Amino acid sequence: MKKFFTTMVAGAFAAVSGISAAVADPVKVGFVYLTNPGDHGWTYAHEVARLDVNKHFGDKVETTYVENVPEGPDAARVIRELARQGNEIIFTTSFGYMDPTLKVSKEFPDVKFEHITGYKRSGNMATGNIRFYEGRYVQGVVAGMMTKSNKIGYLASFPIPEVIQGINAFALGMRSVNPDAEMSIIWVNSWYDPVKEADAAKVHIAEGADILAQHTDSPAMLQTAEKAGVHGFGQSSDMKAFAPKAQLFSSVNNWAPYYISKIEQLMDGSWSTGDGPDHWAGNTWLGMADDYLVLTEFENMPADVKAAAEAAEGKIKGGFNIFTGPYSDNQGTVILKAGEAYHDGNLWNDMNYYVEGVNGKIPG
């Protein structure tokens, strides 16, 4: 209910929050945000990139954003409104906007849509994503070497492909250095609920975890870790200010190059979702090698761990495929034999298991 009203208010004032430019006919760019940029996590990273877009293009673009838009059918109204206001390209920045974006994209064939982290596309709807899992492999390496209890606590949001990829990449990194370490997953069923995230972190610590990782958006987990004297990893943006002693590093999402290149493509007419039945070619999925995912400084760890983290980061930047065999799922079934490796399609379609080292099973 609350969110519904917030959205109505947000929708009504969408036009007001636009940053106006003085020059005639700037390219209008719309953004749809899941929470407000004040989450200091996921949406904050998008807002930083939007400001970079303004800086890069100056008065050649005019950006507008709508915050606190709930995922699901209601989002379509907000996206449609942005299209009606004359935005030529609209970025919808959460997985749950996938179907609403697809629906609206059919109503406005001349507007370009970029949906972030989904997999459905059309002639004028492309997808953009960052290879978040690359950073999580490095986190796994650090966690595996740092843990004394061999118990890692992981906070997850919703069982969607990118979250499962993250969990498995973390576990593969962890098991590459420490075959005895195990991960427990708590699904908080929310992207953003600071108190619940803190509660879940406390539960992990009470259960013996000494390294925490998260796929949720607030700095609450790291603050809890700081207070309890354990370590953890920040999410989406640098969270060092919240946990100077606890943060080992953060994987920072850098959306600016993606936004800028897509807007440039729109300006010079080369924007495309590519050919083929699923329009795969025109879509963006880059990672550490292209600075779409940036790791903050490795801190609060011994020199050998730091060296291993740097080595893992370098290896991935050099083209190492994390999902390379041999490995099994946590039921003992062999997934990939030595020499076999996943390609991108597998990551989205076939990863419905936890790898060895992760406790429990995927909900739902």
Minimal distance, residue 51 CB to other proteins, in Å: 14
Residue whose CB is less far from other proteins, 128 or 153:
153
Handedness of CA 233, 32, 134, 168 (dihedral sign): positive
What letter does residue 15 receive in the DSSP assignment?
T
Pairing relationship of beta strands 284-286 and 231-236 according to DSSP bridges = unpaired
Range 32-51, binding other proteins (CB under 8 A) = 35-40, 44
Minimal distance, residue 36 CB to other proteins, in Å: 5
Among 89, 185, 305, 351, binds other proteins (CB under 8 A): 185
Give φ, ψ of 38 to 5 degrees.
-75, 5
Minimal distance, residue 244 CB to other proteins, in Å: 9
Interface pattern 266-285 for other proteins (x via CB under 8 A) = --------------------
The reply to whether 102 sits near other proteins by the rule CB under 8 A is no
Range 53-72, binding other proteins (CB under 8 A) = 68
Range 338-357, binding other proteins (CB under 8 A) = none
Among 133, 192, 258, 271, binds other proteins (CB under 8 A): 192
Tell me which amino acid residue 351 is: M
Minimal distance, residue 41 CB to other proteins, in Å: 9
CA–CA separation, 316 and 69 (whole Å):
35
For every residue of 196-213, which 3-state class applies, written as one string?
Answer: HHHHHHHHHHHCCCCEEE
Residue whose CB is less far from other proteins, 4 or 320:
4
Among 29, 32, 186, 213, binds other proteins (CB under 8 A): 186
**Residues 86-110 as b or e (16 or more Cβ within 10 Å = b):** ebbbbbbbbbbbbbbbbbbbeebee
The reply to whether 231 sits near other proteins by the rule CB under 8 A is no
The reply to whether 312 sits near other proteins by the rule CB under 8 A is no
Range 6-25, binding other proteins (CB under 8 A) = 6, 9
CB atoms within 10 A of CB 178: 19
Size of the site for other proteins (CB under 8 A): 50
Range 104-163, binding other proteins (CB under 8 A) = 153
Among 60, 80, 120, 196, binds other proteins (CB under 8 A): 196
3-state class of 55 per DSSP?
Answer: helix
Among 59, 180, 207, 275, binds other proteins (CB under 8 A): 207
Q: CB–CB of 128/283 below 8 Å?
A: yes
| Burial class of residue 139, CB neighbours in 10 A (0-12, 13-18, 19+) | buried
CA–CA separation, 127 and 273 (whole Å):
8
CA–CA separation, 295 and 107 (whole Å):
39
Q: CB–CB of 253/264 below 8 Å?
A: no
The reply to whether 187 sits near other proteins by the rule CB under 8 A is yes
Residue whose CB is less far from other proteins, 67 or 114:
67
Closest to 166 in 3D by CA, of 347, 356, 361, 360: 347
Q: CB–CB of 224/243 below 8 Å?
A: no
Residue whose CB is less far from other proteins, 88 or 162:
162
Q: Which residues bind other proteins (CB under 8 A)?
A: 1-2, 5-6, 9, 35-40, 44, 68, 153, 184-190, 192-200, 202-207, 209, 218-220, 223-224, 241-243, 359-361, 363-364
